[in-house]
Amino acid sequence: MEVHVTGGAGFIGSYLVRSLVEQGHDVTVFDNISRGEVSNLENVLDKIRFVEGDIRNRDELEEAIESPDILYHLAAINGTKNFYDRPYEVLDTNVEGVRNVVDIARKQDVDRLVFSSSSEVYGYPERFPTDEDHVLQIMDPENPRFSYAGSKIIGEQYVVNGADDSSYDYTIVRPHNIYGEAMGYDHVIPEFIEQIVTDQPFTVYGDGEQTRSFCYISDAVDAFVRAGFERGGENQIFNVGKQEEVTINGLADRLFDIAGVHPEVSHIESEELKGSTRRRQPDVSKARELLNYDPAVSLDEGLERTFSWYCEDFTGVELEEWRERRN
């Protein structure tokens, strides 16, 4: 099939592109390389069509998209630091981008549009595990953190209502705390790993009892692929993630066990906590039922893989050698 991916050089996007190529699809990637890197695609660059451009530029995007069977829209500005530092740009890029994608999908012969939304659209969830029928919320319009959630809620509206004349089928996915090798640096797992392997003081925001449900990248990509290709995904919205919860303190302890060290932990306050929910746990039963989604990688296994990659990235040595040097 002909598959196009916006944001295909980013973390989730590049893993998705590699999976699609392995399955034999003809893939076009559209990315402005502002957060992703071409190197993420180096082992498939000769097997894909890569177009560099900005999703806010309608002409560039329309020239790149050529009536694919499936169009994945992942391009966006994310990352908590960006929500606080660049809220207007977050809104401008994410909203203008999805509007352009939807307009083009309506004009061209696109069979299915897959939109990557976010768990952030639930605001502060009120029931757990949180299912797709939970209300979407902007908890505080004056807190810049919610620029991202707002952009994703608007994006979902564009995607759903853009398909009102059956010009395309859609699938919306709401990823929950996806992690893995090369996920970037402004996230809790790589930040914790860096503190451990470079002997920095180990700090945790708040009391560390807030919970998250982390999902390893290969499981997330499996869900994204199924969202695009499974018949059960037509005109549906799905949570993507795992239902196993862990506190941030518990996450730190698991990383300490992998490293074989147990540093003293300091708890500090952060502005980022003011807009952050205390608990996040997705209900993925709908994806299990309609997409046959079955996440397989345990948290311990995924953290071991991720720790190994970042250990070498931060220190230049493999995990086993780093452990030996520590001892």
Active site residues: 148
Largest CA distance in the chain: 65
Residue 12 to residues 19, 49, 163, 285, 324, Cα–Cα distance (Å):
11, 18, 25, 22, 33
CA dihedral 109, 290, 281, 250 (to 10 degrees): -100
Residue 40 CA to residue 14 CA, distance in Å, equals 6
Long-range contacts, 309-314 (Cβ 8 Å, 24+): 309/181, 309/182, 310/181, 310/190, 310/193, 310/194, 310/197, 311/193, 311/197, 314/193, 314/194, 314/197, 314/198
Residue 208, SS3 per DSSP: coil
Residue 323, SS3 per DSSP: helix
| Number of residues written out for the chain | 327
Q: Is residue 210 within 8 Å of 248, Cβ to Cβ?
A: yes
Residue 213 CA to residue 60 CA, distance in Å, equals 37
